[in-house]
Amino acid sequence: MTVLTAGLRRSGLARIGLRRWAPALVLLLLVVAPYSALPLPGLLDGPIGSPGSLQLLALCLVFGALATGYDLLLGRTGLLSFGHALYFASGTYVTDLLLVHAGMNFWLAVILGVVAGVVLSALLGAVSLRVGGIGFAMVTLAFAQAGSILVERDPGGLTGGEEGLAATGLPSWLVGIQHTANLYWLALAYLVLTLGAVWWAVRSPLGRVWEGIKENERRVEVLGLRPYGFKLVAFVLAGTLAALGGVVYLLLTGGATPQTTTSDFTLSLLVMVVLGGSGTRWGPLVGGVVYTWAQQRLTGLAGSGAVAGLPSVLRVPLSQPLFLLGVLFVVVVYALPGGVAGLPARVRLRRSKA
């Protein structure tokens, strides 16, 4: 019996050690990914280190980080915002406008683009948080729609309207297929920074107040704290991370597009968070990566000759990536109520019952 207990204890410690070092191992694998020639058929079109694969992986990392930042509002503080795309677009467009029309230094344009996201989220958050519940969601949606209309109207020929605005004045080490690895590492750095900021904020006393606000805001008020200020901090931090993500997205795509300003963009973030598991440590990241990968792969599948040759009963749904993503989302919500992040716990529970 003693030997059995010791064996179980050792196996438990081994699992804990593996779980503790798993993020570092994954980070190491991601860092060296551009040097890999390993093919992943079905997942990527070419070897991991090829420019096309690195571009897709970089987009997955950016949106995984963006979903993690958005979960500060939805999963950590209980705030349903429909205007998060506005702060992402502010980082993209402000940086691009300063580079193209003002001919500003690259790093100064980047800093001002992020500062624009901070200021905008602080101002609009201060107004939006005066109301709660559905009212808050509608106010954030109204601000986002106003920003989207402003971009599409192309005032003074600044934003490029529906065509978007191509970026110029970028450093040479960020331009060209031969430098795709640099862009990938930049996206990875943004992911690490976002995860670190969110992890620190959630584990701080501030994060505990956010948790209390999500559970029962009135109880937080009874304790003598003002929820408004704490919610504003969460709003500004999420907006800042989104603006920084917008800058990285600008470098990845080589320009600013009006699609990033629409409410559909924020709804995609909402789907990512729910898909991965709202309020969990790794869930939003996993949801963002899976959703972005599926969207890119399904878009390529929809335009392929294999789908074009199918009968209409199969060709019509397969040629609509959003339809397939919607079906995937519904299946995950019903099969995994806690998102993908809750799958290991459900497996362990079934094993313990067995």
- For 239-280, the pLDDT digits (tens) are 999 999 999 999 999 889 888 888 888 888 988 998 888 888
Give the confidence band of 1 by pLDDT, cuts at 50, 70, 90.
very low
Domain architecture of the chain: domains with CATH: 47-353 (1.10.3470)
If one compares 248 and 14, the residue with the highest pLDDT of the two is 248
Stretch among 4-18, 86-100, 190-204, 326-340 having the lowest mean pLDDT: 4-18
Could you give the CA distance from residue 181 to residue 138 in angstroms, rounded to a whole number?
40
Listed in sequence order, the DSSP H helices in 154-282 are 180-203, 205-215, 217-222, 227-253, 263-276
Stretch among 224-238, 241-255, 283-297 having the lowest mean pLDDT: 283-297
At residue 10, the pLDDT reads 57
Token pair for 86: 């506005």
The residue type at 184:
Y
> Mean per-residue pLDDT for 70-80?
92
> Mean per-residue pLDDT for 306-321?
70
Average pLDDT of every residue of the chain? 86
pLDDT more than 90, % of the chain: 48
If one compares 295 and 3, the residue with the highest pLDDT of the two is 295
CA distances from 260 to 7, 79, 265 (A): 53, 21, 6
- Residue that has been written with the tokens 């729910």 in this structure: 274
| pLDDT digit string, tens, across residues 125-134 | 999 999 988 9
Whether the per-residue pLDDT at 173 is higher than 70: the answer is: yes
Could you give the CA distance from residue 24 to residue 8 in angstroms, rounded to a whole number?
25
Give the confidence band of 190 by pLDDT, cuts at 50, 70, 90.
very high
Whether the per-residue pLDDT at 13 is higher than 60: the answer is: no
User: Around 330, how many Cα atoms within 13 Å sit in the side-chain half-sphere?
Assistant: 6
| pLDDT digit string, tens, across residues 28-69 | 989 999 998 888 887 888 899 999 999 999 999 999 999 999
